[in-house]
């Protein structure tokens, strides 16, 4: 009988062989937050003349299971910017609370010299400021080996009221572009959007209606080809006038005729 405390409750070495203590390792890095659990898929966004259109579907997946189908992945900030979240949903919730707290703190010292509430909000953080903040936050968390498992798009206006669109991911990588998409959308939606707005100049020629149409088309293509997506989605248009956010949109005019021609999957025997 082995009376040492280390052996208590363990299978007897003389019966089962030496116990593998590597399972019991107490030290070492924390890994709990280093993989996502409940996830959202693509976010797509494109600039146009007066603003930005951004969309994401309303699904939160648990692995391949379509677990939550009424999830709001577009969040507004100070009534002037929209943040679209891909990746881990609980990290998105944390970020949403964090940003809300930031927005409340901002309102403490708001100097309402402006004539209207909207103008007053403009004096606060704009989308470009928010982007810089989120970039620093995400990069800090990655360096702490405790990343927020998200890809984020920030849509809004910059300090000159020009359309602003930028991306930050879980590594702190950040960039701006006339059109942006996260996740599967980076492969499937980005080429479509580049057909319409390859450069800033092209984007500045797009009308609001055209931009909305392009984004809707992207959402449809993503629903066709991304198995972790949904036909219900949220879409927001950010302009100087404010945010027009719709959170329960339905994909229109779907056509699955192409599916018949796809061979080589499932139970088909060609």
Partner 1 sequence: MTSIGTGYDLGNSIFSPDGRNFQVEYAVKAVENGGTSVGIRCKEGVVLAVEKVVASKLLKPGANKRIATVDRHLGVVYSGMVPDGRHFVDRARDEARAWRDTFKSPIPTADLASRMGGYMQAYTLYQSVRPFGITAIVGGFDSELESPVDGEVGQGPSVGAGGKAQDKDYGGPFLYMIEPSGLYWGYYGAATGKGRQAAKAELEKLDLNGDGAASLTLEQAVKEAARIIYVAHDDSKDKDFELEMSWISGTNGPTKGKHQEVPKALREEAERLAKKSLQDSDDEDDDKKEDDKMEE
If binding is defined by CB under 8 A, does position 117 make contact with partner 1? yes
If binding is defined by CB under 8 A, does position 170 make contact with partner 1? no
Q: Are 157 and 127 in contact (CB under 8 A)?
A: yes
Q: Shortest gap between Cβ of 138 and partner 1 (angstroms)?
A: 17
If binding is defined by CB under 8 A, does position 240 make contact with partner 1? no
Q: Tell me the DSSP string of 27-56.
A: -S---TTSS-SEEE--EEEEE-SS-EEEEE
If binding is defined by CB under 8 A, does position 250 make contact with partner 1? no
Between 92 and 181, CB nearer to partner 1: 92
Longest dimension (CA), the chain: 84
Residues near partner 1 (CB under 8 A), total: 24
Q: Tell me the DSSP string of 58-103.
A: S-EEETTEEEESS---EEEETTTEEEEEEEEHHHHHHHHHHHHHHH
If binding is defined by CB under 8 A, does position 104 make contact with partner 1? yes
Residue 211 CA from chain centroid, whole number: 20
Q: Shortest gap between Cβ of 104 and partner 1 (angstroms)?
A: 6
Between 107 and 198, CB nearer to partner 1: 107
The span from the CA of 91 to the CA of 100, in Å, is: 14
Q: Which of residues 19-78 bind partner 1 (CB under 8 A)?
A: 60, 68, 70-72
Whether residue 33 lies in the annotated active site: yes
Q: Are 170 and 182 in contact (CB under 8 A)?
A: no
Stretch that binds partner 1, among 8-16, 103-111, 219-227, 254-262 (CB under 8 A): 103-111
Between 20 and 105, CB nearer to partner 1: 105
Output DSSP code: residue 214.
Answer: H
Between 89 and 211, CB nearer to partner 1: 89
Of 47, 82, 99, which Cα lies nearest the Cα of 234? 82
What is the C-alpha end-to-end distance of the chain, expressed in Å?
65
One of 33, 76, 80, 176 is an active-site residue; which one? Answer: 33
* Residue numbers at the binding site for partner 1 (CB under 8 A): 60, 68, 70-72, 89, 92-94, 96-97, 100-101, 103-104, 107-108, 110, 112-113, 115-117, 120
Could you give the residue numbers annotated as active site? 33
């Amino acid at each position: 009988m082995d009376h040492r405390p280390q052996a208590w409750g363990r299978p007897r070495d003389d019966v089962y062989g030496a116990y593998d203590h590597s399972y019991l390792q107490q030290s070492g890095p924390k890994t709990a937050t280093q993989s996502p659990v409940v996830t959202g898929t693509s976010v797509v966004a494109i600039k146009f003349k007066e603003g930005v259109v951004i969309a994401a579907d309303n699904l939160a997946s648990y692995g391949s299971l379509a677990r939550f189908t009424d999830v709001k992945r577009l969040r507004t900030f100070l009534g002037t910017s929209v943040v679209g979240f891909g990746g881990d949903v609980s990290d998105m919730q944390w970020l949403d609370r964090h940003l809300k707290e930031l927005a409340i703190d901002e309102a403490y010292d708001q100097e309402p010299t402006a004539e209207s509430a909207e103008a007053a909000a403009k004096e606060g953080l704009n989308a470009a400021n928010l982007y810089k903040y989120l970039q620093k936050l995400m990069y800090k968390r990655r360096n702490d080996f405790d990343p927020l498992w998200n890809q984020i798009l920030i849509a809004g206006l910059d300090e000159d009221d020009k359309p602003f669109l930028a991306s930050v991911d879980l590594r702190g990588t950040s960039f701006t572009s006339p059109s942006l998409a996260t996740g599967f959308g980076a492969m499937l939606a980005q080429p479509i959007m580049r057909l319409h707005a390859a450069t800033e100049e092209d984007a500045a020629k797009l009308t609001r209606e055209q931009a909305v149409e392009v984004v809707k088309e992207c959402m449809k293509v993503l629903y066709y080809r991304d198995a972790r997506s949904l036909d219900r989605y949220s879409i927001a248009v950010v302009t100087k006038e404010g945010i027009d956010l719709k959170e329960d949109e339905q994909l229109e005019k779907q056509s699955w005729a192409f599916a018949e021609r796809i061979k080589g999957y499932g139970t088909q025997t060609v």
